[in-house]
Structure 1
Amino acid sequence: MATTLQQLLDGLTARATAPQPAATIEDVTGAVAHLGRALTGLAHDGLTPTDSIRQRTAADLAAACTTAGRLWPHTGGPLTDLAGTAADLTGRDHALMGRSHRWAVTVEVAEVADHCARLGRRLLPQAAAPELATVGELAVAVERIAQTDPPTASGAVILDRLVPAAGDPRAAAQLTILDASAALGAAIDRAQDNGEFTLRDFRAVVAAAEITSRSAGTITAAATGNDAGPLLVTGLAWQLAGRASTVFDDGRPTRPTDPHGVVPWARTLVAHVRAQVPVDTDTAALRDRDHLAAAAGRMQQVTTQLPVLADQLTAAVDRWSRTGQLYANARDLPPMDNMPEHRVAAVIAGRHVQARGDDLDRLRQVVGRAAELSTGLADALHCATPAGPSAHRHQAHLYAQETRAPGAAERLLHHAQAVHRDITTIRSPHQVAREVPSSR
């Protein structure tokens, strides 16, 4: 089953704070050592552009955890195993993290280190192991800094990135919708790491996100009894992102599809989404289905991943804007201040040119707009889903913060109006002539 870094840290916290924890001091210090390993990597990669109290405190906490972790031989145990896996995931994703991501992870790891240090001191005589007391003091210092300079919602997305189960999820006896979502995210990462993420991949992910958000809107309306119309705007936003991408061409020839690549996993996710909410199902029919609550719960889990997918797509657009891998008709690109003579000539002649920098601003903006509307949709579905264990407690909390913050309703309404305006005014020789891949 797919999991997240936040789930691992939550599991570690639950064990460390249990009223009667079944843990040994060796297990506790083993966990603290792994947390120190994670913090060391985060501090080394950098939490701020320059030296700062945040940077120094995190580095000091990493050193304190490393020291405390050497007090007893590591014999393993549930705390050590959970912390070790969390540290491995943190190290594996370090290339994907910016400073805001690293700060979000540091704050969560510091909180867990504090709980582990408290447990260790409960297992020892009062004056023993002052190193654990130091860990607790520095962890509290990090938490205090976070109160005045909290992690951003976009930075905390890294905590809820799904990690697929080992091996090929398709080989599992029962592939879940969450497994498919995790495998899609992992396929995007692989393609980007190898420099093989194509426009076809981009459009397949956008199409899967569009279908997912439309289904989520339909099932939210069925669960709440509200009109589905406003909830379907998110799907239109993703559709607009797909249309905006058709202006560009990456010049890559069509080649056989990698069975473990982005496009097959996008299709697999869409198949699972449609199994939950068939295309021709209306809200009245959904309300009559016995398994509406279960379907809403599964859709809530995968809908929380839409902003994560948007984050990955934005990273791809940023890379294309730097590398100039995309081409477009000069007439279809945004106007420029002080347009160079060669671009003027290209516009007059209708030639294709290399797209760089600001040329991709519109594509970046429509993906960002879809991400914010997806955040609102995820919160609406979270509120409509009956209370129960959530695979994404942390992400749901962030969505609630984002959508209920001052001005959030106006911002989401502005995005919805912008989507409607763009959909009705977009000119479309490209959109008519080209189609989003068959994953739609």
Structure 2
Amino acid sequence: MATSLQQLLDALTERTTASTTVAAIEDVTGALAHLGRALAGMTQDGLTAGVSHRQQTAAELAAACTTVGRLWPRTGGPLTDLAGVAADLIGRDRATMGRAHRWAVTVALAEAADHGARLAHRLLPQAAVAELAAVRRMAAAVERDAQADPPTASGAAVLDRLVPRPARPRRGEEPTAVDAAAALTAALDRALRTDGLALRDFRAAVAAAEIASDYAASVVAVAAGDESMRPLLAAVAWELGRISMTFDDGHQARPTDPHGVVSWARTLADTLRNDLGSHADLSALRDRADLPRLTRTVQQVTNQLPVLADRLAVAVDRWSRNGQLYAAARDLPRMDNMPEDRVRDVIAGRRVQARGADLDRLGRALTSATALASSLADAVNRAAPAEPQSQRHLAGLYAERARAPGSGERLLSHADNVAQAIARSRCAQRINPPAPGGGGPPSY
């Protein structure tokens, strides 16, 4: 099952705080050593712009955890394993973290280290281990800093990034929609790191997001008992996939990578259809005995859609700089003081490299998709059964966006912008059909 850094740390906290926990001191100190490794990475990358009390305190906590880890031999165990996986995940994502993310992760690690040191004291009630006392003291100092300057909602959202399974499920074991959403985002990340994201991948991810949004709108309408909200929250935001039909990247059809974006986009769509039916009929959903389970599943998937939009925005920005996409010159946005060579290309009906402002329409549509997807996620989070949030930081971020001054007017404006962009794109396709391989319905 897909998990997140916060879920790993929550599991570690649950084990270290339970009164019935039976653990070896070597397992506890092994976990603290891994937490120290993760904290050291955060402080090395920097929590503030320069030397500061926050930076120094976190560095001292990292050193204290590392020292405790050397007091007993590493024997492994469930606590060590959980902390090790969390530290590995943090290390893998360090390159994409900003200072706000690192501060949020540091605060979460300090809390876990404090609980670990407390458990160690319970296991050694007669021993006054100065190194364990140092961990608790420095963890408390970090927590005081966090009370004075809490992590931001956008910074803490990094704790809820879904981590996919290390491999596809075994034969006979089907992936869940949450597994597929996590794997889709991870596949996008891999493609972006290698500069290998094809337009086909982009369209597949958009199509999967559109399907997920439509199902989410249906589920939230039924769960909230307000079916009138469904049109506003429908998948219009993700119809931007049609806008991409203006472009092509010259890639020839190739076999589908079973671990790639297209494959996982298809899996996400298929798992949602299997769970909710082909059209997510409202009356059928209303009669489902497992509606709370479906709502929780849709909740976790929908919380990932703005994250997905962020990845796609990176792709569009990169394409605008490297000229990887092509389009008919007459289909590209008009510009002031159009260069003579572009005028000749328009008149002659030539295809040209799309750069810079040529992709502004697609970029703006993605901005709108992010905002509308955040609003949809907030609606799902509010309609979901009242129980501990599995993605509470993302839920908090989307709630903050939804309640910001003027958010309602901005959402209506975003929906209008997307609708207008789609209308222009469809009009252009009727007038100038795209080249072979560059158009047609979104297929993956």
TM-score range, shorter chain: 0.7 to 0.9
Give, as a single letter, the amino acid of the residue that structure 1 aligns with 2:111. Answer: E
C-alpha distance in 2, partners of 1:266/1:252? 19
Q: Partner letter of residue 438 of structure 1?
A: S
What residue in structure 1 maps to residue 24 of structure 2? 24
The 1:141/1:182 distance shift into structure 2, 3 A limit, reads same
Q: Structure 2 CA distance, aligned partners of 1:21 and 1:246? A: 57
Q: Give the direction of change, closer, same or farther, for the CA distance of 1:71–1:411 in structure 2 (3 Å limit).
A: farther
**CA offsets, 1:105-131, max 9 Å, x none?**
223222222222333334445872333
Residues 365 and 421, structure 2, Cα contact 8 Å, conserved in 1:
no
Paired amino acid for 2:23:
A
1:333–1:425 Cα change, 3 Å: closer
Q: What are the equivalent positions in structure 2 for 1:217-232 lying under 5 Å apart?
A: 217-230=217-230, 232=232
Instruction: Please list every run of 5 or more consecutive structure 1 residues that lacks an aligned counterpart in the other structure.
Output: none
User: Counterpart of 2:290?
Assistant: 291
Question: Paired residue for 2:109?
Answer: 109
Deviates more, 1:207-216 or 1:65-74: 65-74
List per-residue Cα deviations over 1:47-103 (Å, max 9, x = no partner): 445545444443333223212222222222222111011011112233343444333
* d(CA) in 2 for partners of 1:173, 1:339: 57
Cα distance change of structure 1 residues 167 and 285 upon mapping to structure 2, 3 Å threshold: closer
**SS of match in other structure, 1:184:** helix
* Greater Cα offset, 383-392 or 419-428: 419-428
Partner of 1:271: 270
5 Å-filtered alignment, 1:75-114, equals 75-114=75-114
- Give the root-mean-square deviation of aligned CA atoms: 3.0
C-alpha distance in 2 between matches for 1:172 and 1:142: 47
**CA positional deviation for 1:352:** 3.9
Change (3 A) 1:281 1:7: closer
Counterpart in the other structure of 1:354: 353
TM-fit CA distance, 1:292: 2.4
CA contact (8 A) 1:217 1:228 kept: no
**How far apart, CA to CA, are the structure 1 residues paired with 2:338 and 2:103?**
40
Structure 2 letter corresponding to 1:94: R
- Contact in 1 for aligned 2:365/2:417 (Cα 8 Å): no
Distance 2:25 2:201 in 1: 49
Q: 327-336 or 268-277: which moved more?
A: 327-336
Q: Cα 1:338–1:157, aligned 2, differ >3 Å: closer, same or farther?
A: farther
* Equivalent runs, 1:186-225 vs 2, <5 Å: 186-225=186-225
Other structure's SS at 2:327 match: strand
* TM-score normalized with structure 1 length: 0.87
Tell me by how many angstroms 1:148 deviates.
5.0
152-161 vs 192-201, greater mean Cα deviation: 152-161
For residues 54 and 113 of structure 2, the distance between their equivalents in structure 1, rounded to whole angstroms, comes to: 17
How many correspondences in the alignment? 438
> Structure 1 pair 63/362, CA: closer, same or farther in 2 (3 Å)?
farther
Residue 178 of structure 1, CA deviation: 1.6
Task: Decide whether aligned partners of structure 1 residues 60 and 374 sit closer, same or farther in structure 2, where only a CA change above 3 A counts.
Answer: same
Q: Which residue of 1 aligns with 2:443?
A: 438
User: Residue 306 of structure 1: CA displacement?
Assistant: 1.1
User: TM-score by structure 2 length?
Assistant: 0.87
Show the counterpart of 1:162. Answer: 162
Change (3 A) 1:213 1:16: same
Q: Contact 1:234 / 1:370 at 8 angstroms: preserved in 2?
A: no
SS in 2 for 1:246: helix
Could you tell me which residue of structure 2 aligns to residue 63 of structure 1?
Answer: 63
1:403: which partner in 2? 402
